[in-house]
């Protein structure tokens, strides 16, 4: 029989995320012990600054949560709005906000007619679907042959 380490098969395993993090922390601590006290202080200050930036970003995102909304747009409309925002050199969200304010004001003044575009909905939440004539993606989804039928 040969040497002990040659006769035993190598054991390899894939550590899950928690084990990998623990192992990473331990090796990081070992590396930090090799640093001088001044270098360690600089490293700790750098980490604190980084953590403070992350926390500030998290708090900013949390504060903006009340102003967020997810909207599904047809691909061609999304591309059109993105191109317009790039041309104007403004954020897309600000351009969309501007368009929504303008259209909402026009609707309130009776300048926009929505009734001809209302289609009955099968959803228990809504009575109607609003289908714009140029919204081919949604029109395809709402055609009777593409709808799921109940048995």
All structural domains of the chain with their residue ranges: 15-67, 75-146
Q: Please identify which residue in the block is written with the tokens 């504060």.
A: 63
Query: Is pTM, for the whole model, over 0.75?
Result: no
Encode the chain (151 residues) as per-residue pLDDT tens digits. Answer: 455 555 555 544 555 777 777 877 788 888 877 888 888 888 889 889 999 999 999 998 888 888 888 888 999 999 999 999 999 999 999 999 999 999 999 999 999 999 999 999 888 999 999 999 888 888 888 776 655 554 4
Instruction: Count Cα atoms within 13 angstroms, Cβ side, for 5.
Output: 0
Spatial distance between the Cα atoms of 43 and 41, rounded to a whole number of angstroms: 5
């Amino acid at each position: 029989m040969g040497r002990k380490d040659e006769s035993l098969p190598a054991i390899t395993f894939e550590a899950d995320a928690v084990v990998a993090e623990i192992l990473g922390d331990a090796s990081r601590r070992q590396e930090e012990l090799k640093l001088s006290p001044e270098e360690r202080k600089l490293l700790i200050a750098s980490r604190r600054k980084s953590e403070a930036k992350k926390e500030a970003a998290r708090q900013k995102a949390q504060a903006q949560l009340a102003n967020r909304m997810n909207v599904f747009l047809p691909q061609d409309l999304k591309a059109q709005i993105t191109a317009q925002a790039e041309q104007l050199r403004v954020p897309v969200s600000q351009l969309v906000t501007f368009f929504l304010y303008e259209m909402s004001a026009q609707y309130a003044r009776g300048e926009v007619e929505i009734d001809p575009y209302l289609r009955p909905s099968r959803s228990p939440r809504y009575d109607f679907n609003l289908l714009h004539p140029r919204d081919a993606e949604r029109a395809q989804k709402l055609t009777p042959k593409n709808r799921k039928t109940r048995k």
